[in-house]
Amino acid sequence: MGSIALLLLAVTSVPAQNSPPGGAAVPALTPFVMDHRAGLAAHSPVDVSFLLDAPAGKHGFIHAVGGHLVDGSGQRIRLWGVNITEWSRGSTMIPSKEEAPLWAATLARYGVNCVRLQFLDLPAPRGLIAAGRNDTRAFDPEQLDREDYFLAELEKRGIYIDFNLLVGRPFKAGDGVTDADKLHEGAKAVSLYDKTLIELQKDYARQLLTHVNPYTKRSYANDPAVAIVEINNENAIWLGFPSPSPFYAHELDGIYNAWLQKNASAAVVWSVRREAGVQGSDPIPLLAGPEVGAAPKDRFDLESQFFLWLESGYFSYMRGFLEKDLGIRCLILATADHSHRNTGYPLLLATSGFDAVDGHDYWQHPWERKVKAPMVDDPTNSTVVELSRTAEAGKPYTVSEVNEAYPNDYGAEQIPILAAYGDFQDWDAILWYTFEPKSDPNWKPYIGDPFDISLDPIKMPELAAGALMFLRGDVSLARETVARSYSEDQVFDSYRMWEQDRPYFTPGFPLWVPLQHGSRIASLNDGPTAKFSDGAEPSRVVSDTAQLAWYGSKPRGGQVVVDTPRTQALIGFAAVQNKPPANLSAEVANPFSAIVLTSLDDQPVAHSAKLVLVAGARVANTGMQWNSDHSGLSQWGGSPTLIEPVTGRIELRGLGGATAVLAQPLDGAGQPLGQPISAVQNAGTWLITVGTPATTWYAVTVQR
């Protein structure tokens, strides 16, 4: 992710909302705020920190074995967590020593067992880089000390670390970098081939990873609580890539021509020179922009091979430096498959020597400026499908950035859906973008930017419920995995395919397959994939485990049903009457909601004595106003945050031997809010009336 300043642009204002079926009134928006400081005052009945195995790293370094992440004892480990950033006003990426225990304990309470550290390569007071210098080659001692303390607090609670080495570093002239003022954050693309930039990256990695944390007495290179080191965030170089200045265009052309002399025959070079219209001894220029689509095959193939060589050489070199020179012992990732409007296969081929792969995706990213629509209505373009493109057979798959950005009336859908399908697809990590600790104790709570979930009154409770579902593996993994193979020609040709072929760029591969079966890449340099099915996209896709059903119906009719022994959910449009889970159903006034019921005591719902019930619909800031086409906001709004409380009846069935069921509403601190609600028994069904008091979660106890 890059800067989000452009996301807060305003346009004309007209509020909008859906009407529920049957003419019933939509429950009114009412204040409900998260309060992490008060959350530590007393034990919360929905504290899920018991999921964490503290301290982090006590079983040794995390590494890849048998296609999954395992700890030093050989036990499989899944990572569920957040990125740590500070985009919104009042936030900090590096908390003070006084505040660090608060935020570490808060994250643990919500089931976070891994944090991804992005943008540490920004200048202080945001990141670690010393400010006020003409270079970016030194750390700020005070910032580094605060970060050390924060990470020690995280580690002692069982929270692992993911370091990202090159993200947003603003290179300066004092670094010896040519045209530093023309480079975008992190010097995207050129940082893969410019020798000066590569040496600066190595210097940063050395300073950070060989530094000994005085609070843990370990260097980060030798700390088993460091689960992952990522070489780059979202970095790749593409055919037709526009260089930031003539210097870098000339440099890249020079590297290309030197490569041609070593790797192409004289006849091929002569042919390409003629096609490019190059005279005499002038260098052959790389294709630019639209030329890529129209280029003859021999020239296109040569450049594709060159970029593969360039990317794979860079990532291999950096991995060797981290392992051999710095002694890194944890899992190393190259970079993420991050643009689903384009192909990811050439980048995956370039990083195929790594032990794991990583993906990023967002449902309706704010930069797209699309009319906000529910993901449940569009299953084959969902984040589940887009992210499943990247997973490779025999390797762990991590998702280190994902979210359904605010504002979206349907944002409650994303976390439970991805937790469920992440289990089904057998992924190893899901890290949400993003959590922003607040630096001011008196900060008034509201959602301050499109990605920050820290004060989202629906997503935070769902984060805890999702941790239970994902980390326990409540959804069974797919019984069948459909593998795809590609020839190298197919990988390169995907550069020239149109956006309507996204995200798979694979003829004959139906997009609904990842909702029914597992999905993995078997090979990127083998024979092409055979057609899997000629059938039409079904209106209902049921997983081959029968635990997940996605009913996609436009407009405003989609629903996802999760039905496992320990977790059950109804996510989508409430008026749709689909087959409910075994122990859960609902009759609510909200047109759209996400209702998740999950066991807190590791027992099946039918026999559990303690459960958490999360029920969310819309969320908004006070004073928030949509623009005329519902694609963004004209007024961002402020404190307090508002929720549309899920209002109606939640029905629990099949609770063996139950004599009483109590649902305790919870406040934004996870503490009791008012008196417990006594469920009414009716013919073996326990009916819980929800909506008053307004909340998004309940601690449910079953007496027997």
pLDDT score recorded for residue 534: 64
What's the confidence (pLDDT) of residue 443?
82
Which sign, positive or negative, has the C-alpha torsion 219, 222, 225, 231? positive
CA 572 – CA 187 distance, rounded (Å): 41
Local structure of residue 221 (DSSP, 8 states)? G
Closest CA to 233 of 169, 283, 157: 169
Tokens of 210: 């060989």
C-alpha span between 514 and 516 (Å, rounded): 5
Instruction: Give the residue from 655, 530, 550, 642 showing the smallest Cα distance to 603.
Output: 655
Q: Which stretches of 277-394 are DSSP H helices?
A: 291-294, 297-320, 345-350, 383-388
Distances (CA, A) of 488 to 389, 423, 493, 509: 17, 31, 9, 18
pLDDT reported for residue 6? 31
For the chain, what is the radius of gyration of the CA atoms? 26
What is the rounded distance in angstroms from the CA atom of residue 249 to the CA atom of residue 247? 6
Beta strands 63-65 and 518-523, pairing class: unpaired
Per DSSP, helices labelled H in 73-122 are: 100-109
Bridge partners of 363, per DSSP, are 404
The whole-angstrom separation of Cα 463 and Cα 672 is 19
Number of helices followed by number of strands (H, E) in the chain: 13, 33
At residue 24, the pLDDT reads 61
Answer whether 213's CB lies under 8 Å from 219's CB: yes
DSSP 92: -
Select from 304, 116, 276, 148 the least CA-distant residue to 212: 148
Cα separation, 567 vs 580, whole angstroms: 13
Q: Which CATH class is domain 44-243+304-479?
A: alpha beta
- Yes or no: say if 49 and 471 are a contact pair by the CB < 8 Å rule: no
Parts of the chain with a pLDDT under 50: 2-22
Q: How far apart are CA 704 and CA 686, in angstroms?
A: 13
* Dist. CA 473–CA 460, nearest whole Å: 20
CA-closest candidate to residue 248, choices 289, 173, 305, 189: 189
Give the span between the Cα atoms of 300 and 272, in whole angstroms: 10
The per-residue pLDDT for 3 is 39
Q: Which amino acid is at 6?
A: L
Euclidean distance between CA atoms 652 and 128, whole angstroms: 51
Single-letter amino acid, residue 298: D
**Beta carbons of 470 and 463 less than 8 angstroms apart:** no
Question: 687, 649 in Cβ contact below 8 A?
Answer: yes
Instruction: Give strand pairing partners of 587.
Output: 649
